[in-house]
Structure 1
């Protein structure tokens, strides 16, 4: 069992119920079950009051996940909260909406047969990425066994900027992670480095459509071309998985000229987070394969104890159908033009905000928000009396959650702040962020020395 550090102070393991609920001097334990029931209003108020200590989600520019949806979507989610997504026999129309979403994504990503697209919903991109990784590993094993070759040393090539789910995949399923470090101004995976790390044991290359470190796209088409040439030289066929957690539900609408999806024959699978730029509350993800051959049949399980014989491919089993319904609501409600309008506005906010931060003087932009509506910036090298961690702490005083973090190997000398612009983050909120940043700068500039670094800063860890 995982152990978490306790924030409980001595003598605070219990609480006394407010007398306004008509129950005098009732002491309630915090960390164990109370002996008796509470009135529902009392239980609600206790939890409601504690949650007021959470940050304001709309002011959280660290997170990529959706923090605002239309009330009609929220109503649909509430109506579907009791529906189990896995039970397709009991909830056939919810299953139909999932199927339609997969078909929509297949068309959006140019799958060869979008009508019969092979894919499924998941609880998020982490699960979707692991399912895609399992398919890559199993296909590699089939090829190796057919050739009479050993299958005990699989590896997966990716940039060191990947999300932690890929580290989990490698650890859980015994796959060597071949992490390409950052070098100089190269903060993502390049085609040259991808090929250099491949060999006969490589099950695939992961290309990221939108790095969480700085919001930039990796060059998927260049990586595929380099792997085409690598196959011509060596005979080794290495597929590509596109981790489109953020970009796969943004690029098709605002970067239609960018070729990154199934139009590239080497792309075997794509994952996306519906709860990021798919505009749905957490948690829903999607994974789509190029075709049925890209998903080995033995990974699909059939169960008949829910009323019918149904296929399932997932790491979990029961999960709510509400987020899938909300995803279909967005697809139906916004259409292509609506998604383009929402995402174009977010990019407009991001690029304007990044330019204004650069104009303040002490900061240097690493990215501008012109790919993902996400940008990173650092404190200029000549400034010695405050750090990005001091800036993050100062903004937290005003309720803003702006993450400061150190980059990984081999750019651990670089620390940055990052701003994620999502639906609901408007020009008005951006103006407020700029004003608060401007308000805090005089105090920071008067410091004689930095107050925080990556080891002493509170809060965010990338």
Structure 2
């Protein structure tokens, strides 16, 4: 009988002389027998060989660089399931330490030794947990008052990330959207309040809007909401979606009040794998105090050898990211985080300034408050251009860059924009290489004799499907500019 572990070509030759390399990789069925680890490794690696290098992916918000010690530490914990707290009690303690650190970065008023918060698989789960807590608090109060509780809603700008659409659909909660415009580029507090009523479970401002990179003014919203609640007798709270800004604001804008210093901010969520500087997936959510985390959200099980209380939508989750986050807190400290985020912001501002000098473009905002920004074609330029930003995206991808082109949310969906996200690991030299490639691509596109297919589609008001994921999660079909 044939020994499937050592086939003829595998035993006598190196990887590329192996018989297995003559066979296609499995698509529908598991192979009949095992393959030597060297060959299996190469086959899997080769499937991803043609992809973009992660550090050239300016579409993603996700951390693509950690130092060797962080990577080593996380690899050593890759086989640990965080939920097994009885078996790995020190990791549970480390998780609590991370929650404490995050909560205190957000000026938590809580006096208890362990702050109220939860680990999440990413900012999306963290948002869900914050939203569910607001819903359950509202529902409990309505039930106690003998009032109907079947029509909850929440208010957010059209700059929301897709998780909030999922939240609305999964829990059957109406999402009321405040439109963004070229004049009002962030959430307008007064417009938000017009959409509130006795069934509003919370208002959700965003710090680091996925589509634009801007921050909603949480302090202004809190002030307006305080007057509104006093007038109506409601107690509508704020959940801050700080997926990106939660690890930018404490270090670069410590005097800006957007966090638990504000009266109506009861919960905040953030991504640890974005500007928290940890590989995916990791998120955090904190509450102002234990009274704001409903008991119904805590689940206890005893089949792991002890009673384990857990808050989260997921059960099993990797422990490696917790070690990565705690390592970064120790390794960088407050000053180190400040320097990393400052450098990323300065490089983003540099690219922003250089883009503004290029004839075809106009930046969406004059200010860069987070290490990301968007731009679009000047309307007068676009009228006579034979190309679109989708074509520029394709040109840049030929040089390895992933710079997404996409349409803005409703009320602005006629605008096709491009976005750059600057993260740790992106240097000034890389910025200059990107700018050089953009200039060269423009020069090539301006020599075209005939309009590109995407330009012709725009002329006919036909949809143009974006070819690159932009992390907004929604598709807008109409493109005109």
Q: Note if 1:41 corresponds to 2:38.
A: yes
Going from structure 1 to structure 2, the CA distance change for 1:240 and 1:456 (only over 3 Å counts) comes to closer
Corresponding residue for residue 3 of structure 2 = none
Deviates further, 108-117 or 295-304: 108-117
The reply to whether residue 271 of structure 1 matches residue 280 of structure 2 is no
1:85-124 C-alpha deviation (Å, 9 max, x unpaired): 1111111111111000001011111111163310011100
Moved more, 426-435 or 185-194: 185-194
Partner of 1:244: 242
Give the RMSD, CA atoms, in angstroms.
1.6
The answer to whether the 8 Å contact 1:350/1:368 transfers is: no
TM-superposed CA distance for 1:451, in Å, is 3.5
SS of the equivalent of 2:445 reads: helix
Equivalent runs, 1:106-121 vs 2, <5 Å: 106-113=103-110, 115-121=113-119
Matched, 1:413 2:414: yes
Is 1:215–1:367's contact at 8 Å kept on the other side of the alignment?
A: no
Task: Decide which of 56, 61, 82 is 1:59's aligned counterpart.
Answer: 56
C-alpha distance in 1 between matches for 2:209 and 2:252:
17
Q: Counterparts of 1:61-210 in structure 2 under 5 Å? A: 61-113=58-110, 115-210=113-208
* Cα distance change of structure 1 residues 28 and 126 upon mapping to structure 2, 3 Å threshold: closer
Distance 1:297 1:25, change over 3 A: closer
User: CA deviation digits over 1:315-373, x for unaligned, max 9?
Assistant: 11111100011000000111100000000000110001110111122110113562111
Distance 2:188 2:114 in 1: 33
Partner residue, 1:213? 211
CA–CA distance in structure 2, aligned partners of residues 224 and 435 of structure 1: 44
Instruction: State the Cα distance separating 1:457 from its structure 2 match.
Output: 4.3
Q: Structure 1: how far apart are the matches of 2:131 and 2:377?
A: 37
Counterpart Cα distance in 1 of 2:30 and 2:20? 18
Q: Decide whether aligned partners of structure 1 residues 450 and 21 sit closer, same or farther in structure 2, where only a CA change above 3 A counts.
A: closer
C-alpha distance in 2, partners of 1:349/1:297?
45
Q: Which runs of 4+ in 1 moved over 3 A?
A: 22-29
CA contact (8 A) 2:15 2:42 kept: no
Quote the Cα distance in structure 2 between the aligned partners of 1:25 and 1:349: 47
Distance 2:21 2:328 in 1: 48
Contact 2:15–2:38 under 8 Å retained in 1: no
* Structure 1: runs of 5+ lacking an equivalent: 1-16
Give deviations 1:372-416, integer Å, cap 9, x for gaps: 111101111112322221211111111110011101111112111
Gaps of 5+ in 2: 1-13, 473-481
TM-score normalized by the length of structure 2: 0.90
1:424 aligns with 2:433: no
SS of the residue aligned with 1:98?
helix
What is the alpha-carbon distance in structure 2 between the residues aligned to residue 434 and residue 23 of structure 1?
A: 44
Q: Number of residue pairs matched? A: 446
The 3 A distance-change label for structure 1 pair 274 and 215 is same
Instruction: Quote the residue 2:314 is aligned against.
Output: 316
Deviation at 1:19, TM superposition (A): 5.6
Which of 20, 24, 31 does residue 17 from structure 2 map onto?
A: 20
Residues 294-314 of structure 1, C-alpha deviations (whole Å, 9 max, x = no match): 001121011111121121011
Distance between the aligned counterparts of 2:85 and 2:156, measured in 1? 36
Q: CA deviation at 1:187?
A: 2.8
Alignment partner, residue 435 of structure 2: 434
Q: Match of 2:191, SS? A: helix
